[in-house]
Every structure is written in structure tokens, then in C-alpha cells.
């Protein structure tokens, strides 16, 4: 096995939800904080050493409708544009049980347990493996204790409902805070490294 780090990023509300009570599309607690300097700098940190992006189907399709145009937009914030160019150019692994054609270039579709796929990815290649805002994949890797780093943006909003990243039944693990930054609006950029 190589020494590739497996990292993941997700935005969470203050009460631990990655979407609101309106379901998967309810990102009202996240969107207002997505373009702050703290959020954009955090985004730059998370992809800087990554050479593989891992996505669930919903994120892959949603990202495809947005990020390629940012990569080509000379007026976009340079941090957004840098991330967009990286995402378009990098190797992508997309988890799906329904897609038959890859929605992006340089994309491999997989229909297998996340832990098996990530364990295989760790055995070859270089650079970090970034599970890119895909909660279902992140949950599976937390359950299998395969994540080495968590990039979390915590927004100062209590949603009162929605889906949670950290649910009952996960194995007990210990994490160390290796970076923290607070934005002007109260958003927190946190990096946690797994203590093994």
C-alpha cells in the first residue's frame, strides 16, 4: 500500500447537518458562506495535494453543470478558477449505480463498496485522494476508518433538520485539529487529521 492520504471535505451547519430540512437540495445554511475568503482559501488547501477526486453521482452531475464554466471564466475569483481547473483536469472516480456513461472526461464510474474502491486507489499512484463533498461516500469511509483528513466548513446556522454526517454506530476514532480559521461572518474552516 502506498502512503496516499485519503481526505474528505464537507460543509456542515452548526447543528451538524450537511443539508437543511428541505432535503438534498436545501443548502441554505451553506450557500451564503461559500464565497467568503475563508471558504475560498479552505477550498484551495483541500485540493492542493490531491490527484484523484472521488464523487458521488449527484455531486458529479451537479459539479459538471457549474465548475467547467468557472474554469473558463477569466473574471472568476482566482481561487475558484484554480479549483475548477483542477477538478476538470484531475482523475475522477464517480460512484453510481445508475450511470452508464461517465459525465466528465478523465472519469471512471464505479459500482462497488466505497471502502473497497478507496483501498484499491491507495495501492497505486501518488498524491492525495479527495472525497469531494459526497456525504454518502464520506460516511462509508468513516465507518471503515479509511479517512486520514477531514476538511470541514462549519457555518453559524442551526438548520433544525437535515441529514447528518456523524451518525450513531461509527467506530470510535480520535482526531487532531491541524488548522482552524474563523471568517468575518462566523464561519469556521477546520482541518482534522486522524490520530492513529
Q: Residues 30-79: pLDDT tens digits?
A: 999 999 999 999 999 999 999 999 999 988 988 888 999 999 999 999 99
Chain-wide mean pLDDT for the chain?
95
What's the confidence (pLDDT) of residue 110? 96
Q: What is the mean pLDDT of residues 180-189?
A: 97
What's the confidence (pLDDT) of residue 102? 85
pLDDT band of residue 103 (cuts 50, 70, 90) is confident
Question: What distance lies between CA 159 and its chain's CA centroid?
Answer: 20
What's the confidence (pLDDT) of residue 2? 61
Contacts of 146 (CB under 8 A, 6+ apart): 6, 115, 118, 119
Q: What is the mean pLDDT of residues 84-102?
A: 94
Q: With a cut of 90, say whether residue 150 has pLDDT above it.
A: yes
What's the confidence (pLDDT) of residue 64? 85
The structure's pTM equals 0.94
Domain 6-195: which topology?
A: Dihydrofolate Reductase, subunit A (3.40.430)
**The Cα angle at residue 96 between residues 25 and 112, in degrees rounded to 5:** 135
Q: Does residue 178 contact residue 7 with C-beta atoms inside 8 Å?
A: no
The residue extents of the domains of the chain are 6-195
Amino acid at each position: 500500500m502506498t502512503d496516499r492520504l485519503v481526505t474528505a471535505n464537507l460543509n456542515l451547519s452548526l447543528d451538524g447537518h450537511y443539508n437543511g430540512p428541505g432535503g438534498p437540495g436545501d443548502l441554505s445554511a451553506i450557500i451564503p458562506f461559500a464565497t467568503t475568503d475563508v471558504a475560498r482559501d479552505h477550498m484551495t488547501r483541500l485540493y492542493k495535494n490531491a490527484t484523484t477526486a472521488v464523487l458521488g453521482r449527484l455531486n458529479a452531475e451537479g459539479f459538471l453543470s457549474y465548475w467547467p464554466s468557472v474554469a473558463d471564466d477569466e473574471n472568476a475569483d482566482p481561487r475558484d478558477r484554480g479549483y475548477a481547473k483542477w477538478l476538470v483536469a484531475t482523475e475522477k472516480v464517480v460512484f453510481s449505480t445508475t450511470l452508464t456513461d461517465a459525465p466528465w472526461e478523465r472519469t471512471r464510474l464505479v459500482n462497488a463498496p466505497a471502502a473497497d474502491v478507496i483501498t484499491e486507489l491507495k495501492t497505486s499512484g501518488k498524491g492525495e485522494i479527495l472525497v469531494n463533498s459526497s456525504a454518502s461516500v464520506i460516511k462509508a469511509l468513516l465507518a471503515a476508518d479509511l479517512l486520514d483528513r477531514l476538511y470541514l466548513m462549519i457555518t453559524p446556522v442551526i438548520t433544525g433538520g437535515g441529514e447528518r454526517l456523524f451518525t450513531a454506530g461509527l467506530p470510535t476514532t480520535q482526531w487532531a485539529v491541524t488548522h482552524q480559521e474563523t471568517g468575518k461572518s462566523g464561519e469556521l474552516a477546520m482541518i482534522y487529521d486522524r490520530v492513529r
